[in-house]
Amino acid sequence: MSKINGLLIIGLCLGVLSASLPAHEAHCEDTNLGAVMARMKKNLKQLKRAARNEDFDQVLELARTLQEQTRTASAETPLKYRDQNQAFVRLKEDYQTRYDKLDSQLSQLIHSATAGNTEAVDTTLAQINRTRKDAHKEYRLDCD
């Protein structure tokens, strides 16, 4: 997949997510996780723009910031599962596993950006986007 096609797909996915975000935020309570996610979304957009411009120094900086935010978010409990009892331990483990995967993908992105490997950066960004999309389907609370 070409760099432009990969970034276009990622951009379209982000557009779909951001189109539904105001309605979601209107009637979900504010949480620390939501605040971290908002910062992650902003940083991911900036990271994609930096990758498109082949600004690997910026890609590295933003990927490292996203890694820190990933670790912060992984310690939180999704609002959707706040009131779960017996299933909570399993759900929290699954949730942590998703963040571990994202952390690993961000490490790969850092490695690829350090090497200046545009194709690997694009591939890893597409993987990050799939992980993000799958996790949102699983853990995001539908407030409608």
Tell me, yes or no, whether 29 lies in a domain. yes
Backbone angles phi, psi at 55, to 5 degrees: -95, 80
pLDDT band at 109 (very low <50, low <70, confident <90, very high): very high
Residue 79 confidence (pLDDT): 76
Tell me, yes or no, whether 77 lies in a domain. yes
Instruction: Give the chain's domain count.
Output: 1
Model pLDDT for residues 46-105, shown as the tens digit of each residue = 999 999 999 999 999 999 999 999 889 888 877 777 766 656 767 777 888 888 998 999
- Tokens 């432009």 identify what position? 4
**DSSP letter string over 47-103?**
HHHHHHTT-HHHHHHHHHHHHHHHHHHHTS--GGGTT--TTHHHHHHHHHHHHHHHH
Q: Which domain holds residue 103?
A: 3-139
The CATH number of the domain holding residue 31 is: 1.20.120.10
Tell me, yes or no, whether 144 lies in a domain. no
Residue 143 confidence (pLDDT): 61
Helices 3-26 & 32-52, crossing angle to 10 degrees?
160
Model pLDDT for residues 69-81, shown as the tens digit of each residue = 988 988 887 777 7
Tell me, yes or no, whether 88 lies in a domain. yes
Residue 83 confidence (pLDDT): 67
Q: Please say if the pLDDT value at position 19 is more than 60.
A: no
